[in-house]
Amino acid sequence: MSDVNAIKITPEIVKEHGLTVEEYQRIVTAMGREPNYTELGIYSVMWSEHCSYKSSRFHLKKLPTKAPWVICGPGENAGVIDIGDGQAAIFKMESHNHPSYIEPYQGAATGVGGILRDVFTMGARPVANMNALRFGDPDHPKTKHLLAGVVEGIGGYGNCVGVPTVGGETNFDPSYNGNILVNAMTVGIADTDKIFYCAAAGVGNPVVYVGSKTGRDGIHGATMASAEFTEDSEEKRPTVQVGDPFTEKLLIEACLELMATDAIIAIQDMGAAGLTSSSVEMASKGGVGFELNLDKVPQREANMTPYEMCLSESQERMLMVLKPGREAMAQAIFEKWELDFAVIGEITDTGKLTLTFGGEVVGDMPIASLVEDAPEYERPFEKPAPRKAATVAATDDLNKAVLDLIGGPHLCSRRWIWEQYDHTVMGDTIQRPGGDAAVVRVHGTAKALAISTDVTPRYCYADPVEGGKQAVAETWRNITAVGGLPLAITNCLNFGNPERIDIMGQFVGCLEGMGEACIALDYPIVSGNVSLYNETNGSGILPTPAIGGVGVMADSNMMATIAFKGEGQTILLIGETKDELGASLYQRDILGADPENAGAPPHVDLTVERRNGDFVRALIANGQLTTCHDLSDGGLIAALADMAIAGSVGANVTIEGDVPLHVSLFSETQARYLLAADPDTAEDIRKEAKDAGIPVAVLGETGGERLSINDGTVDISMADLAKAHSDWMPNFMAKTS
């Protein structure tokens, strides 16, 4: 039956498993013998980049992960923070890039499924899904098909499971033509005294398998995700898993029902590398051994080999260690939900992962060697030379530039996307997609969570350190702009091939910037994921360290939104505008600048960021401010247009000073917010800002049916602006060419 183990290990087989000759020797040394075929497969996934973080671990250790409100930082299934009143928010973001390029619907769907499991594994009820998506050039022949498939996959899974998809970001850049990025994030809520971890304990305790049956899908998914793509990547379709959101929904309910009892000692979802990585992880964390009888594994297909069962990435499966004697009670719960339940092994004191099949031992590996002996590479890196500030030209047609940006792929409305996501199920979404951050109430309380995902890959490419800082700062600013207190982040680090010195330089630089921002903003990293080798035929993506931030609002009634709330409101700008058009959207999309010569991106002054943000958040919390938008891509004019469009009301704005108008309108200087309030309140805010030493300017007032700047230097009817904003994406998706 275990015939595969009769296969002789050759250098070709080692190579096919994505292992180098040195790594193979390392396995032989660790085991004290040659591995058999099943064991080789297990080492190959455990030591893959995806599971072992062998290129990134060294640098990840340097990230700030602690704060008094952090209950559990990186290393578990997801990060856990205290949100008061005995409650915790549990969250993580994860990539599903490679599978989504090969098969966009299933790739994206299972990405959502996987991240949901990471969160409910820890005892949380998932309450919000978010995502960060990157596609290639809109004109690339595959972009539309990939976008349509990914959106449908995210919706297909999240809608069925009944967790609202409340926001995210979608961007386009030619560097993603052959490697799209699909990063999915889930946030859940648990009681702080009911959080579940994966460390197994108790020799003799039963190891229990629940959920879907194991099939042959997704074998070697983790290895595939750890390699570059070539022309034949589409032949890798069989490595993509197939999602079953209905089973996931049942699994959530069954797990939460069992978690309400005290039967579970440890629990872990079967994600990348399936049964193998979940059992190794649980045993390793608990310092114990696992003996698994593979004959007991529920199987979807006949004649599966031990190799296939260990490496399958079939979805919607979990592994648990139960207290002895609780099996029958647990089984009854899972049977009620029509899910498989099987005791497949027990905890041992051998420190080994021992696999039996048909009465034979088919695998016997020291757990420590699978985890701790995994290679760790301190790869050489070189950060790009610092760039000089760019001088960026004016445009002779400002009206056209504004319409092109607002009605272009980068800033246009994403309504076409988020209307395909159920964002109102669970009845707690109080700020829907389209604003700065999504806001969901903590069910049955006055509190709410504010969530945002961000990164500006243009900046990360131009200057990885500033770009890393900016990504963290932008989520912080977005959460602040709705009134939330930013508490912690998760990250999804998408980069090219780490064996390239410049890519590794981007990685190291971005992490350095992120770390700096986390410390300055008291905003630690509590979970994350690394996706390397996002390259096709040697061409890498822009460095894309996507950040997912979570904040809390003590009183969900004290919230700001971007929409202007009627006519006659005074518009204020908080923060100083500098000549920072390097690597800006205006420079790229209006002037068509080459990214290589884009100059330095905006500088992130974290002290100013914090000062300005704390000021704005206090205004929202004390009820003075309900209209607020942060400034980011596209600068002041983009924010102004968003607010006017969202409120269906125009604005008349005058920008004073001797700075060229195109700089004032399009500069992407950080730490800025646009506010609107009735004139008396606005005057109070202006004085308070001035007293606090915060740059503040009165720009004008809301009203009318035009967006007019400096006596008509820019003058666009709201109807034209709104149409440009709303039409680009549906028109693009409807194009048949």
Partner 1 sequence: MKSAVIVFPGSNCDRDMAVALTKVTGQKPVMVWHQDTDFEAVDFIALPGGFSYGDYLRCGAMSARSPVMTEVIKRANNGVPTFGVCNGFQVLTETGLLPGALMRNANLHFVCKDVRMSVENAESMFTNDYAAGEEITIPVAHHDGNYFADRDTLDRLEGEGHVAFKYTADINGAQRRIAGILNAKGNVLGMMPHPERMIEPALGGTDGRKMFTSIMNRLG
- Write out the residues near partner 1 by the rule CB under 8 A: 152, 155-156, 159-162, 244-247, 249-250, 337-338, 418-427, 429-430, 432, 441, 556-557
Whether 50 is catalytic is yes
Alpha-carbon dihedral 307, 313, 315, 320, rounded to 10 degrees: 60
Q: Which is nearer to partner 1, 239 or 429 (CB)?
A: 429
Taking the C-alpha atoms of residue 305 and residue 124, their distance in angstroms, rounded to an integer, is: 35
201 by Cβ neighbours in 10 Å (0-12 / 13-18 / 19+) ranks as middle
Q: How far is the CB of 114 from partner 1 (least distance, A)?
A: 18
Q: Which is nearer to partner 1, 302 or 734 (CB)?
A: 734
Q: Reduce the DSSP state of residue 70 to 3 states and report it.
A: strand
Question: Whole-number minimum distance, CB 116 to partner 1, in Å?
Answer: 13
* Burial environment of residue 183 by CB neighbours within 10 A (0 to 12, 13 to 18, 19 or more): buried
In this complex, which beta carbon is closest to partner 1, that of residue 162 or of residue 202? 162
Question: Residue 93 is inside which H or E element, if any?
Answer: strand 87-95
Q: Between 56 and 431, whose beta carbon lies closer to partner 1?
A: 431
Residue 373 beta carbon to partner 1: minimum distance, rounded to whole angstroms: 42
Distances (CA, A) of 605 to 390, 411, 608, 609: 19, 25, 5, 6
With beta carbons less than 8 A apart as the criterion, state whether 323 and 266 touch.
no
**Calpha distance 490→206 (Å, rounded):** 33
Give the integer Cα–Cα distance in Å for 45 and 695: 53
> In the complex, what is the shortest distance from the CB of residue 421 to partner 1, in angstroms, rounded to a whole number?
6
Nearest Cα to Cα of residue 448 among 401, 493, 397, 483: 483
Annotated active-site residue 725? The verdict is no
Alpha-carbon gap, residue 52 to 185, rounded angstroms:
21
Of 424 and 537, which has the nearer Cβ to partner 1? 424
Q: 17, 50, 59, 98: which is the annotated catalytic residue?
A: 50
Least Å from the CB of residue 557 to partner 1: 7
CA distance 525 to 508: 16
Catalytic residue among 59, 96, 220, 662: 96
Query: Do 492 and 456 form a contact (C-beta atoms < 8 A)?
Result: no
**Cβ 106 to partner 1 shortest distance, Å:** 15
Helix segments in 287-359, DSSP class H: 306-311, 327-336
Tokens at 489, concatenated = 């982040």
Task: Confirm if 52 and 43 have CB atoms less than 8 A apart.
Answer: no
Which of 41/155 has CB closer to partner 1?
A: 155
Q: In whole angstroms, give the CA distance from residue 670 to residue 521.
A: 14
- The least distance separating partner 1 from the CB of residue 661, rounded to whole angstroms, comes to 37
Residue 105 or 229 having the CB closest to partner 1: 105
Active-site residue list: 50, 96
